[in-house]
Amino acid sequence: MTNEQLAQRLRDHDMRPTKQRLAIAAHLFDGTDKHVSAESVYTTLKQAGIHLSIGTVYNSLRHFADAGLLRAVPGLGDHLTYDTNIGAHHHLLDVDTGEIIDIPALSQPVTSADLPQGYELEAVEITYKVKRTS
């Protein structure tokens, strides 16, 4: 995705395409799905020679999520995780390693037989986020 495409994507969501946001967006939307935290984005960019203040990273990710460009996924670790895959899918969390694996949204509940080989099911957390119909 070109810089101009990223900028347009931000404008489409009523966000000004600042240098900082473009740097974050370039990392997030590089074509591969990612699970990130503010800290991981900050570190990744720093290693690429791009310095942003950590506060800006926190604020930007929150805005991206509010704008619908990211999906916030709590409960995958000690921090708020953002998922660049905003389509319908769910998460496998390795409770020992913290590793997160995407799985497609199935029409049947997952059983141990549906897991990637070498994994066993420990627990399932399902939260349906609802609103009162107005």
Partner DNA sequence: GTGTTTGCAAAGTGTTTGCAATTTA
Partner DNA sequence: TAAATTGCAAACACTTTGCAAACAC
Shortest spacing between CB 32 and its own copies, in angstroms: 21
Is residue 115 involved in binding its own copies (CB under 8 A)?
A: yes
Choose among its own copies, DNA, none what residue 21 binds, the Cβ cut-off being 5 to 8 Å by kind.
DNA
- Can residue 109 be called a binding residue for its own copies (CB under 8 A)? yes
Name 119's Cβ contacts closer than 8 Å, sequence gap at least 6: 92, 94, 112
Q: How far is the CB of 73 from DNA (least distance, A)?
A: 11
What length does the chain have?
A: 134
Instruction: Please tell me the count of residues contacting its own copies according to CB under 8 A.
Output: 35
Torsion of CA 4, 5, 8, 13, to 10 degrees: -140
36 binds DNA (CB under 7 A): no
Least spacing, CB of residue 52 vs DNA, in Å: 4
2, 32, 47, 108: residue in contact with its own copies (rule CB under 8 A): 108
Residue 23: partners with Cβ closer than 8 Å, 6 or more residues away: 45, 50, 52
**Distance of CA 70 to CAs 34, 40, 65, Å?**
10, 15, 4
